Amino acid sequence: MSNENIAITSAIAEMTENTKLIGDRVSQFTNENESFHSKLIDQMKQIVQNITELKNNPSLPYIKSYEETTQKLKESQLKLQEMTENNTQLEKQMDELKQQLQTSQEENAKLATTASANNTQLNKQLEECNNKLQQAQQNFEAAQNQSTTDLQQAKDQLSQAQSDLQNIQQQQQQQVTEAQQAQKLAQQQLIDSQQKLGELQTLQSSMASQIMDVKDQIKQQLDNINQMVTNSQGYNTSYDNNLMQITNSLTELMNLIANPPSSPFTPPSPSSSSPGSGAIPGPKVNKKSSVPLTNVNQLKNENYQKFLGGKHKHKNKTKHKGKHSKTLRKGGYSYSTTQSYRSTRYSSPTKHKRSHHYSTLKK
Protein backbone atom coordinates (compact mmCIF):
# COMPACT_ATOMS: atom_id res chain seq x y z
CA MET A 1 0.00 0.00 0.00
CA SER A 2 1.41 3.39 -1.02
CA ASN A 3 1.85 6.40 1.29
CA GLU A 4 -0.98 8.27 -0.50
CA ASN A 5 -3.50 5.52 0.21
CA ILE A 6 -2.36 5.38 3.84
CA ALA A 7 -2.90 9.16 4.19
CA ILE A 8 -6.37 8.93 2.59
CA THR A 9 -7.41 6.11 4.86
CA SER A 10 -6.17 8.03 7.92
CA ALA A 11 -8.07 11.19 6.88
CA ILE A 12 -11.30 9.23 6.35
CA ALA A 13 -10.97 7.65 9.77
CA GLU A 14 -10.30 11.05 11.39
CA MET A 15 -13.31 12.71 9.71
CA THR A 16 -15.55 9.83 10.67
CA GLU A 17 -14.46 10.22 14.28
CA ASN A 18 -15.07 14.01 14.19
CA THR A 19 -18.56 13.48 12.72
CA LYS A 20 -19.36 11.01 15.47
CA LEU A 21 -18.18 13.50 18.12
CA ILE A 22 -20.32 16.29 16.61
CA GLY A 23 -23.40 14.07 16.59
CA ASP A 24 -22.80 13.09 20.21
CA ARG A 25 -22.45 16.76 21.22
CA VAL A 26 -25.67 17.80 19.42
CA SER A 27 -27.56 14.98 21.08
CA GLN A 28 -26.18 16.05 24.47
CA PHE A 29 -27.26 19.68 23.97
CA THR A 30 -30.70 18.60 22.77
CA ASN A 31 -31.21 16.39 25.79
CA GLU A 32 -30.06 19.13 28.19
CA ASN A 33 -32.32 21.71 26.53
CA GLU A 34 -35.35 19.45 26.68
CA SER A 35 -34.66 18.66 30.33
CA PHE A 36 -34.31 22.36 31.19
CA HIS A 37 -37.52 23.27 29.37
CA SER A 38 -39.35 20.46 31.14
CA LYS A 39 -38.14 21.64 34.55
CA LEU A 40 -38.93 25.27 33.71
CA ILE A 41 -42.47 24.41 32.64
CA ASP A 42 -42.97 22.43 35.84
CA GLN A 43 -41.78 25.43 37.90
CA MET A 44 -44.08 27.81 36.03
CA LYS A 45 -47.00 25.48 36.60
CA GLN A 46 -46.17 25.43 40.28
CA ILE A 47 -45.94 29.22 40.37
CA VAL A 48 -49.28 29.61 38.63
CA GLN A 49 -50.81 27.21 41.08
CA ASN A 50 -49.34 29.16 44.00
CA ILE A 51 -50.65 32.45 42.59
CA THR A 52 -54.07 30.92 42.17
CA GLU A 53 -54.03 29.77 45.75
CA LEU A 54 -52.94 33.21 46.94
CA LYS A 55 -55.74 34.87 45.09
CA ASN A 56 -58.23 32.61 46.64
CA ASN A 57 -56.73 33.04 50.06
CA PRO A 58 -55.06 36.48 50.33
CA SER A 59 -53.07 37.03 53.44
CA LEU A 60 -49.75 38.54 54.38
CA PRO A 61 -47.64 35.36 54.40
CA TYR A 62 -49.01 34.39 51.10
CA ILE A 63 -48.35 37.86 49.74
CA LYS A 64 -44.78 37.51 50.82
CA SER A 65 -44.65 34.10 49.30
CA TYR A 66 -46.24 35.52 46.18
CA GLU A 67 -43.56 38.16 45.91
CA GLU A 68 -40.87 35.55 46.35
CA THR A 69 -42.53 33.36 43.82
CA THR A 70 -42.85 36.27 41.43
CA GLN A 71 -39.19 37.01 41.86
CA LYS A 72 -38.36 33.39 41.17
CA LEU A 73 -40.59 33.52 38.15
CA LYS A 74 -38.73 36.52 36.81
CA GLU A 75 -35.47 34.77 37.40
CA SER A 76 -36.82 31.71 35.67
CA GLN A 77 -37.94 33.83 32.74
CA LEU A 78 -34.49 35.33 32.51
CA LYS A 79 -32.98 31.88 32.58
CA LEU A 80 -35.47 30.78 29.96
CA GLN A 81 -34.55 33.73 27.78
CA GLU A 82 -30.89 32.92 28.28
CA MET A 83 -31.48 29.28 27.48
CA THR A 84 -33.48 30.32 24.42
CA GLU A 85 -30.60 32.43 23.23
CA ASN A 86 -28.22 29.58 23.96
CA ASN A 87 -30.53 27.25 22.13
CA THR A 88 -30.54 29.57 19.15
CA GLN A 89 -26.78 29.66 19.26
CA LEU A 90 -26.72 25.88 19.50
CA GLU A 91 -29.04 25.62 16.53
CA LYS A 92 -26.68 27.79 14.54
CA GLN A 93 -23.79 25.61 15.63
CA MET A 94 -25.82 22.54 14.71
CA ASP A 95 -26.47 23.98 11.27
CA GLU A 96 -22.76 24.61 10.88
CA LEU A 97 -21.98 21.10 12.09
CA LYS A 98 -24.53 19.64 9.72
CA GLN A 99 -22.93 21.60 6.90
CA GLN A 100 -19.52 20.31 7.94
CA LEU A 101 -20.95 16.81 8.20
CA GLN A 102 -22.38 17.04 4.70
CA THR A 103 -19.08 18.33 3.41
CA SER A 104 -17.28 15.51 5.20
CA GLN A 105 -19.64 12.97 3.71
CA GLU A 106 -19.04 14.32 0.23
CA GLU A 107 -15.30 14.22 0.79
CA ASN A 108 -15.65 10.73 2.20
CA ALA A 109 -17.50 9.66 -0.92
CA LYS A 110 -14.74 11.06 -3.10
CA LEU A 111 -12.12 9.45 -0.93
CA ALA A 112 -14.03 6.17 -1.02
CA THR A 113 -14.11 6.29 -4.82
CA THR A 114 -10.40 7.01 -4.95
CA ALA A 115 -9.73 4.37 -2.31
CA SER A 116 -11.80 1.84 -4.27
CA ALA A 117 -9.69 2.44 -7.36
CA ASN A 118 -6.57 2.25 -5.30
CA ASN A 119 -7.94 -0.81 -3.54
CA THR A 120 -8.36 -2.57 -6.88
CA GLN A 121 -4.74 -1.89 -7.68
CA LEU A 122 -3.76 -2.92 -4.20
CA ASN A 123 -5.74 -6.13 -4.57
CA LYS A 124 -3.81 -6.96 -7.71
CA GLN A 125 -0.54 -6.23 -5.95
CA LEU A 126 -1.71 -8.21 -2.95
CA GLU A 127 -2.62 -11.16 -5.17
CA GLU A 128 0.82 -11.05 -6.75
CA CYS A 129 2.38 -10.89 -3.31
CA ASN A 130 0.24 -13.83 -2.22
CA ASN A 131 1.34 -15.85 -5.24
CA LYS A 132 4.98 -15.05 -4.54
CA LEU A 133 4.48 -15.87 -0.88
CA GLN A 134 2.83 -19.19 -1.77
CA GLN A 135 5.69 -20.07 -4.12
CA ALA A 136 8.21 -19.12 -1.45
CA GLN A 137 6.31 -21.21 1.08
CA GLN A 138 6.33 -24.20 -1.26
CA ASN A 139 10.07 -23.75 -1.80
CA PHE A 140 10.55 -23.47 1.94
CA GLU A 141 8.52 -26.63 2.59
CA ALA A 142 10.52 -28.53 -0.03
CA ALA A 143 13.78 -27.32 1.48
CA GLN A 144 12.48 -28.15 4.95
CA ASN A 145 11.51 -31.66 3.85
CA GLN A 146 14.95 -32.15 2.30
CA SER A 147 16.57 -30.80 5.47
CA THR A 148 14.42 -33.15 7.54
CA THR A 149 15.53 -36.10 5.40
CA ASP A 150 19.18 -35.09 5.66
CA LEU A 151 18.79 -34.52 9.39
CA GLN A 152 17.21 -37.95 9.86
CA GLN A 153 20.03 -39.58 7.89
CA ALA A 154 22.58 -37.73 10.01
CA LYS A 155 20.76 -38.82 13.18
CA ASP A 156 20.75 -42.44 11.98
CA GLN A 157 24.47 -42.28 11.20
CA LEU A 158 25.15 -40.70 14.58
CA SER A 159 23.08 -43.37 16.33
CA GLN A 160 24.97 -46.13 14.48
CA ALA A 161 28.30 -44.51 15.35
CA GLN A 162 27.28 -44.26 19.01
CA SER A 163 26.21 -47.91 18.98
CA ASP A 164 29.54 -48.97 17.41
CA LEU A 165 31.43 -46.88 19.94
CA GLN A 166 29.49 -48.45 22.79
CA ASN A 167 30.22 -51.95 21.47
CA ILE A 168 33.93 -51.12 21.17
CA GLN A 169 33.96 -49.72 24.71
CA GLN A 170 32.25 -52.86 26.01
CA GLN A 171 34.78 -55.07 24.21
CA GLN A 172 37.66 -52.99 25.58
CA GLN A 173 36.18 -53.18 29.08
CA GLN A 174 35.78 -56.95 28.74
CA GLN A 175 39.38 -57.30 27.53
CA VAL A 176 40.62 -55.15 30.41
CA THR A 177 38.59 -57.22 32.88
CA GLU A 178 39.95 -60.48 31.45
CA ALA A 179 43.51 -59.11 31.53
CA GLN A 180 43.07 -58.02 35.14
CA GLN A 181 41.68 -61.43 36.09
CA ALA A 182 44.56 -63.17 34.30
CA GLN A 183 47.05 -60.89 36.05
CA LYS A 184 45.48 -61.61 39.44
CA LEU A 185 45.54 -65.35 38.71
CA ALA A 186 49.20 -65.17 37.64
CA GLN A 187 50.10 -63.18 40.75
CA GLN A 188 48.28 -65.69 42.95
CA GLN A 189 50.02 -68.60 41.20
CA LEU A 190 53.37 -66.84 41.68
CA ILE A 191 52.64 -66.33 45.38
CA ASP A 192 51.59 -69.97 45.74
CA SER A 193 54.70 -71.14 43.87
CA GLN A 194 56.97 -69.02 46.04
CA GLN A 195 55.24 -70.29 49.18
CA LYS A 196 55.52 -73.92 48.06
CA LEU A 197 59.14 -73.37 47.00
CA GLY A 198 59.90 -72.05 50.47
CA GLU A 199 58.19 -75.06 52.00
CA LEU A 200 60.17 -77.40 49.72
CA GLN A 201 63.43 -75.65 50.58
CA THR A 202 62.66 -75.93 54.29
CA LEU A 203 61.80 -79.62 53.86
CA GLN A 204 64.97 -80.17 51.83
CA SER A 205 67.10 -78.54 54.50
CA SER A 206 65.41 -80.71 57.13
CA MET A 207 65.99 -83.88 55.08
CA ALA A 208 69.63 -82.93 54.46
CA SER A 209 70.10 -82.51 58.19
CA GLN A 210 68.42 -85.87 58.83
CA ILE A 211 70.63 -87.55 56.19
CA MET A 212 73.75 -86.18 57.87
CA ASP A 213 72.49 -87.51 61.19
CA VAL A 214 71.87 -90.96 59.64
CA LYS A 215 75.32 -90.87 58.04
CA ASP A 216 76.91 -90.12 61.39
CA GLN A 217 74.94 -92.95 62.97
CA ILE A 218 76.03 -95.37 60.22
CA LYS A 219 79.62 -94.23 60.62
CA GLN A 220 79.36 -94.95 64.31
CA GLN A 221 77.87 -98.38 63.57
CA LEU A 222 80.68 -99.13 61.10
CA ASP A 223 83.21 -98.16 63.73
CA ASN A 224 81.50 -100.50 66.14
CA ILE A 225 81.44 -103.27 63.52
CA ASN A 226 85.11 -102.67 62.77
CA GLN A 227 85.86 -103.06 66.40
CA MET A 228 83.72 -106.18 66.53
CA VAL A 229 85.50 -107.63 63.47
CA THR A 230 88.85 -106.90 65.02
CA ASN A 231 87.81 -108.65 68.21
CA SER A 232 86.14 -111.60 66.47
CA GLN A 233 88.78 -112.92 64.06
CA GLY A 234 88.89 -116.22 65.88
CA TYR A 235 85.12 -116.89 65.50
CA ASN A 236 83.76 -119.50 63.15
CA THR A 237 82.97 -118.99 59.46
CA SER A 238 79.18 -118.77 60.01
CA TYR A 239 79.65 -115.80 62.26
CA ASP A 240 81.99 -114.18 59.72
CA ASN A 241 79.44 -114.69 56.96
CA ASN A 242 76.63 -113.13 59.01
CA LEU A 243 78.86 -110.25 59.93
CA MET A 244 79.89 -109.80 56.29
CA GLN A 245 76.23 -109.70 55.23
CA ILE A 246 75.51 -107.01 57.81
CA THR A 247 78.58 -105.10 56.69
CA ASN A 248 77.56 -105.25 53.02
CA SER A 249 74.01 -104.12 53.84
CA LEU A 250 75.34 -101.14 55.78
CA THR A 251 77.79 -100.40 52.98
CA GLU A 252 74.99 -100.36 50.42
CA LEU A 253 72.97 -98.03 52.61
CA MET A 254 76.01 -95.78 52.93
CA ASN A 255 76.44 -95.70 49.17
CA LEU A 256 72.77 -94.78 48.71
CA ILE A 257 73.20 -91.95 51.19
CA ALA A 258 76.41 -90.79 49.51
CA ASN A 259 74.82 -90.99 46.02
CA PRO A 260 71.07 -90.44 46.57
CA PRO A 261 68.60 -90.37 43.69
CA SER A 262 67.66 -86.88 42.46
CA SER A 263 65.52 -85.31 45.18
CA PRO A 264 61.98 -84.24 44.29
CA PHE A 265 62.66 -81.16 46.40
CA THR A 266 65.67 -79.89 44.47
CA PRO A 267 65.20 -76.11 44.03
CA PRO A 268 65.49 -74.50 40.57
CA SER A 269 68.96 -73.78 39.29
CA PRO A 270 70.28 -70.23 39.68
CA SER A 271 69.84 -69.68 35.94
CA SER A 272 66.13 -70.52 36.06
CA SER A 273 65.28 -68.70 39.29
CA SER A 274 64.96 -64.97 39.50
CA PRO A 275 67.57 -63.11 41.54
CA GLY A 276 66.54 -62.09 44.98
CA SER A 277 63.91 -64.80 45.22
CA GLY A 278 65.34 -65.99 48.54
CA ALA A 279 66.08 -69.57 47.36
CA ILE A 280 68.19 -71.51 49.82
CA PRO A 281 70.64 -73.86 48.08
CA GLY A 282 70.47 -77.45 49.25
CA PRO A 283 73.36 -79.23 50.86
CA LYS A 284 76.13 -80.33 48.55
CA VAL A 285 76.53 -84.07 48.27
CA ASN A 286 79.75 -85.62 47.06
CA LYS A 287 78.67 -87.92 44.25
CA LYS A 288 82.13 -89.58 44.21
CA SER A 289 81.48 -91.89 47.08
CA SER A 290 84.05 -94.07 48.69
CA VAL A 291 84.78 -97.54 47.41
CA PRO A 292 82.23 -99.94 48.92
CA LEU A 293 83.53 -102.40 51.37
CA THR A 294 83.04 -106.02 50.30
CA ASN A 295 84.83 -108.07 52.90
CA VAL A 296 86.10 -107.99 56.43
CA ASN A 297 89.73 -107.49 55.56
CA GLN A 298 88.99 -104.16 53.82
CA LEU A 299 87.61 -102.84 57.08
CA LYS A 300 91.11 -103.04 58.52
CA ASN A 301 93.11 -101.27 55.88
CA GLU A 302 93.19 -97.87 54.22
CA ASN A 303 90.05 -98.56 52.15
CA TYR A 304 88.04 -97.95 55.28
CA GLN A 305 89.50 -94.46 55.49
CA LYS A 306 88.57 -93.89 51.85
CA PHE A 307 85.03 -95.04 52.65
CA LEU A 308 84.78 -92.41 55.36
CA GLY A 309 85.56 -89.52 53.05
CA GLY A 310 88.29 -90.37 50.60
CA LYS A 311 88.20 -90.16 46.82
CA HIS A 312 87.94 -92.98 44.31
CA LYS A 313 87.87 -93.44 40.57
CA HIS A 314 85.33 -95.28 38.47
CA LYS A 315 86.76 -98.26 36.72
CA ASN A 316 84.50 -97.92 33.70
CA LYS A 317 85.03 -94.09 33.55
CA THR A 318 81.29 -93.47 33.20
CA LYS A 319 80.32 -89.78 33.28
CA HIS A 320 77.39 -88.72 35.43
CA LYS A 321 74.98 -87.83 32.63
CA GLY A 322 71.51 -89.21 32.10
CA LYS A 323 71.07 -92.67 33.58
CA HIS A 324 73.95 -95.00 34.35
CA SER A 325 74.09 -98.35 36.02
CA LYS A 326 77.08 -99.79 37.76
CA THR A 327 77.49 -103.29 39.16
CA LEU A 328 80.38 -104.14 41.40
CA ARG A 329 81.25 -107.74 42.12
CA LYS A 330 83.86 -108.74 44.61
CA GLY A 331 84.15 -111.53 47.16
CA GLY A 332 80.87 -113.18 46.07
CA TYR A 333 78.70 -110.13 46.93
CA SER A 334 77.14 -107.65 44.51
CA TYR A 335 74.99 -104.56 44.57
CA SER A 336 73.70 -102.18 41.90
CA THR A 337 72.74 -98.52 41.88
CA THR A 338 70.57 -96.78 39.35
CA GLN A 339 70.36 -93.02 39.40
CA SER A 340 68.37 -90.55 37.26
CA TYR A 341 69.23 -86.90 36.91
CA ARG A 342 66.51 -84.52 35.84
CA SER A 343 66.18 -80.75 35.96
CA THR A 344 62.58 -79.92 36.58
CA ARG A 345 60.92 -76.51 36.93
CA TYR A 346 58.34 -76.93 39.66
CA SER A 347 55.05 -75.20 39.01
CA SER A 348 52.98 -77.28 41.40
CA PRO A 349 53.77 -80.16 43.72
CA THR A 350 50.98 -82.19 42.14
CA LYS A 351 52.60 -81.90 38.71
CA HIS A 352 55.90 -83.37 39.92
CA LYS A 353 55.74 -87.09 40.31
CA ARG A 354 58.75 -89.38 40.63
CA SER A 355 59.16 -92.96 41.56
CA HIS A 356 62.24 -93.84 43.55
CA HIS A 357 63.40 -97.33 44.27
CA TYR A 358 65.59 -98.07 47.21
CA SER A 359 67.14 -101.45 47.81
CA THR A 360 65.76 -103.34 50.73
CA LEU A 361 68.36 -103.99 53.30
CA LYS A 362 68.45 -107.52 54.64
CA LYS A 363 70.16 -108.51 57.77
Domain positions in the chain? 3-149, 232-262+286-314
Do strands 333-339 and 324-330 pair parallel, antiparallel, or not at all (unpaired)?
antiparallel
Higher pLDDT, 200 or 308: 200
pLDDT band at 56 (very low <50, low <70, confident <90, very high): low
Average pLDDT for 8-30: 73
Higher pLDDT, 117 or 60: 117
Lowest average pLDDT, out of 117-131, 136-150, 226-240, 323-337, goes to 323-337
Q: Radius of gyration over alpha carbons of the chain, in Å?
A: 73
Report the run of H or E that residue 195 belongs to, with start and end.
Answer: helix 60-231
In percent, the amount of the chain with pLDDT more than 70 equals 63
Residues 6 or more apart whose CB falls under 8 angstroms from that of 281 comprise 267
pLDDT band at 125 (very low <50, low <70, confident <90, very high): confident
Lowest average pLDDT, out of 91-100, 206-215, 275-284, goes to 275-284
CA–CA distance, 295 with 329 (Å, rounded to integer): 11
pLDDT at residue 37 above 80? no
Q: What is the DSSP string of 100-115?
A: HHHHHHHHHHHHHHHH
Higher pLDDT, 92 or 55: 92
pLDDT band at 4 (very low <50, low <70, confident <90, very high): low
Q: Which CATH number fits domain 3-149: 1.20.120, 2.60.120, 1.10.287, 1.10.357?
A: 1.10.287
Residues 6 or more apart whose CB falls under 8 angstroms from that of 222 comprise 247, 250, 254, 299, 304, 307
pLDDT band at 268 (very low <50, low <70, confident <90, very high): very low
Average pLDDT for 130-148: 79
Higher pLDDT, 53 or 193: 193
Q: What is the pLDDT of residues 203-220, one digit of tens each?
A: 888 888 888 888 888 888
* pTM score of the predicted model: 0.26
pLDDT band at 233 (very low <50, low <70, confident <90, very high): low
